[in-house]
Amino acid sequence: MDQLNVFHYMHKDSVIHRMDCRIKLGCMVLLSVTASFASTWADFGILAGVFAAALLGSKLPVAALLRELRFFAFLILLVFLVHSFSVPGQPVQSVPLPGLTVEGVTSGLTFAGKLLLIIILCVVLAGTTPLSLLGKAVEWFLRPVPFIPEARVATMINLVFVLIPLIFSQAGEILNAQKARCVERRKNPVKRIIFLAFPLLFQTFKKADDLALAMEARCYSEKRTKAVFKATPVDWGILIFSAAVFLAVFFVT
Amino acid sequence: MIILETRHLTKIFPDGTEAVKDINLSFREGEFAVIAGANGSGKTVLVRHFNGLLMPTRGEVLLEGEPITKNLVRARTQVGIIFQDSDSQIVGQTVAEDVAFGPENLGLSPEEVAATVKETLESVGLSHLANRRPHLLSGGQKRRLAVAGVLAMKPRIIVFDEPFTGLDYPGVVQVLNQVLSLHRKGHTIIMVTHELEKVLAHADRLIVMHGGEVAEDGPPGEVLGRVGRYGVRQPYGNRPVETMTWIS
Ligand SMILES: Nc1ncnc2c1ncn2[C@@H]1O[C@H](COP(=O)(O)OP(=O)(O)OP(=O)(O)O)[C@@H](O)[C@H]1O
Ligand SMILES: [Mg+2]
């Protein structure tokens, strides 16, 4: 899991990497809302074009990312199948399978399409934005909201993403160590989960403890240096373009 | 000049473990001290008192004559500790971000933070990896990153807790060279290690801990002959101290 590149920041010099993080976040929200409302072929055509442009414009290694996205193919297929067989309606003439309906297939396709679009959006966002910057952008949006300690929220977002890869590699190591001691001969899956979960939990808490200590040693405080964001005309242009896509999709539907 | 001093430092953990007992040590500015001792002899617990990460049950720690409790932030910037496990010290998603963490905590301006990060990464030779994910670095590089994270706070005293564990030969040499260059620049170095043969030639002083107490304290040449009693391996019989380094 920690070897995967998908959803990891990759440093490149592209328009999307250089974007003001607040505006990028705004565009992403706008576009994902748009994607979740998409329904006609035209909508999907427009969005697919825009997203492909974003993916190419981000200079991320598209081929490698697409290969890694195959892990999501199963999920997307599942969504499609569940819809195809669960939505009531006209049976499909050419494929006489019980439960398969025209409405189901259409709805399955739309949902699978939306899912795919949103995953691509996440890949672009994660690949072009260091998460700490994302945290800082969220912090910026939270600044005017009273009673929310925005610095703490930003740190929490940051730490979650530092800890997750560690936890995965830890789980892999524990599992390997147990395989070396023939855990596979245990037939009871519950037992095996317990064997994995306890050391993992224990080590994760220890890691979190160590991390807290290391942060304290480096004077962690919530009065930290605040990020300074600067939006360029290009950023505004991209935001306006995203808004236009949003309106176009709503207009077409 | 005495820069760091402990007086009757005693730490008893809530479970009753008396980890360090009545420690009286003082470190001169610019000194290079090595602390050795068997597993569980209290080395880590001792050094974590130096910047107030642990608070003593009895006794006190003085930084330039002032109790560190008076100004903890000052103690933490002046005394940098590099922990044994580099992985759990990493708080940033890129190398540069990780180094920026400390200066950002001190509330420096973004320009100052950027300048400090650049300068620090150059000094540890990690500039070319500034945008990498820290967890993908090699062991030696990770340790250098941990050092960079501490150096960015501009400390005067640098404490290394077992800096050689898990490093291969080039890794050890890299870290050792870095320690020596910091020492030459005037930093006070306190190094916890039991791998004496890798570093003792460069040290001014060898302190041996045993059961939470200071058992020996003196010039390496004098103390070395007696370390065997305290569970520390004396390297290769009666080799002279000057040969105990991995830098040729
Ligand atoms: N949080 C704690 N609670 C209770 N006992 C502790 C705690 N931390 C350390 N100890 C105990 O204090 C003693 C000294 O531990 P310390 O970690 O300082 O040893 P060390 O000399 O660094 O050993 P090592 O070479 O293994 O790193 C040990 O007996 C340990 O079990
Ligand atoms: Mg220790």
Closest residue to atom 26 of ligand 1, CA basis: B39
Give the pLDDT confidence of B109-164 residue by residue, as tens digits.
989 999 999 999 998 889 999 988 888 888 889 999 999 999 999 999 999 999 99
Q: Which of B23, B43, B53 to mutate to test the pocket of ligand 1 (most atoms within 8 A of CB)?
A: B43
Alpha-carbon distance of B157 to B51, in angstroms, equals: 10
Report the atom number in ligand 1 closest to the C-alpha of B42: 18
- pLDDT value for B151: 92
Task: Report d(CA A191, CA A1) in Å as an integer.
Answer: 24
Query: B104 and chain A: CB distance < 8 Å anywhere?
Result: yes
- Determine the Cα–Cα distance for residues A160 and A204; give it in Å rounded to an integer: 12
What is the token pair recorded at B124?
A: 């540890």
Q: Which residues of A touch B81 (CB under 8 A)?
A: 217
Q: Where are the domains of chain A?
A: 1-130+228-253, 150-221
Reported ipTM: the value is: 0.79
Domain boundaries, chain B: 2-230
* Digit-coded pLDDT (tens) for B201-212: 999 999 999 999
Start-end of H helices in chain B: 43-48, 72-78, 95-105, 110-124, 139-151, 169-184, 220-223
CB-nearest to A218 from B107, B133, B153 is B153
Instruction: Starting from the CA of residue B37, give the closest ligand.
Output: 1
User: What does the alpha-carbon distance between residue B96 and residue B121 come to, in Å, rounded to a whole number?
Assistant: 8
Chain B residues near residue A166 by CB distance under 8 angstroms: 87, 135
List pLDDT tens digits, range A104-163. 888 888 889 888 899 889 888 988 888 778 888 888 888 888 888 888 888 888 788 777
CB-based contact A130 B94, cutoff 8 Å: yes
Cβ separation B105–A221 shorter than 8 A: yes
For residue B162, report the distance from its CA to the centre of ligand 2, in Å: 7
Report the C-alpha gap between B89 and B83 in whole angstroms. 7
- CA–CA dist A99, A86 (Å, integer): 7
Cα of B85 vs centre of ligand 1, distance in Å, is 15
- Nearest residue of A to residue B88 by CA position? A211
Q: How far does B241 lie from chain A, in Å, by closest CA?
A: 33
Q: Residues of chain A with pLDDT > 90: what percent? A: 11
What is the helix (H) or strand (E) element at residue A118, kind and residue range?
helix A102-128
pLDDT at residue A99 greater than cutoff 50: yes
* Domain B2-230, CATH homologous superfamily name and number: P-loop containing nucleotide triphosphate hydrolases (3.40.50.300)
